[in-house]
Amino acid sequence: MILKGKCRSCNSVISFQYFLVEAICAFSFLFVFLLFGLTTTTLLFFILIISFIIIFFVDLKHFIIPNQITYSLMAIGFIKSFDPNLNQSIFPDYIHSLIGGVFGYSIIWLLIYLYKRIKNKDGMGLGDAKLLSALGFWFGWISIPFILIFSSLTALGFSLPSLIRKSKNLSTEIPFGPHLVIGCILYLLLIDFIFLFLV
């Protein structure tokens, strides 16, 4: 902001994407810190925020979800489930975490398999399966249906204008990772309402 979006030495324009990413990260960190204070929950969400930002922009640009991120999230998601002091309304115990991880991967894998059998081509990538598995490890099996519903709705909302204009069709490849990220964020924002509805 001080440099007005330009390099100090050569005056070249700096892409707005860098400012956007840093602003999202800063405000997300502040929001989480104000909610949970200096706690383990805050640290875990900091890790998740950084991972989400990387996944969102890398998949959006390159149609790739890095294995290093998803595997790390799986491991952290499962390990943290053994901590009994974490907020159980957000983070599940290790049994629900393990079921969530397996369920998250299996449901995307099944969709890929069925689409391949019917259409004889790939419909989604295993990167999406690994990401949903990681989210299952973090938030348990109960989060998976809601994350899928929210992510599917955002993907539809994003694609609908292009389908109406016919600039894209139903076979056009879109990165689903960013929508899974948005779906998870919506789940976390609405988690109190969701559990109130379920109870």
Evaluate whether residue 35 is within a structural domain: yes
> Tokens 């991967």 label which residue?
105
pLDDT score, position 199: 61
Evaluate whether residue 10 is within a structural domain: no
Evaluate whether residue 119 is within a structural domain: yes
Evaluate whether residue 194 is within a structural domain: yes
Evaluate whether residue 193 is within a structural domain: yes
Range of the domain at 102: 16-198
Token digits for 28? Answer: 């997300």
pLDDT score, position 190: 93
Domains of the chain: total = 1
Evaluate whether residue 5 is within a structural domain: no
Evaluate whether residue 9 is within a structural domain: no
pLDDT tens, the chain, 199 aa long: 888 889 989 989 999 988 999 999 999 999 999 999 999 999 999 999 999 999 999 999 999 999 999 999 999 999 999 998 898 889 999 999 999 999 999 999 999 899 888 888 777 789 999 999 999 999 999 999 999 999 999 999 988 887 787 767 666 778 999 999 999 999 999 988 887 776 6
Evaluate whether residue 104 is within a structural domain: yes
* pTM for this predicted structure: 0.89
pLDDT score, position 109: 94
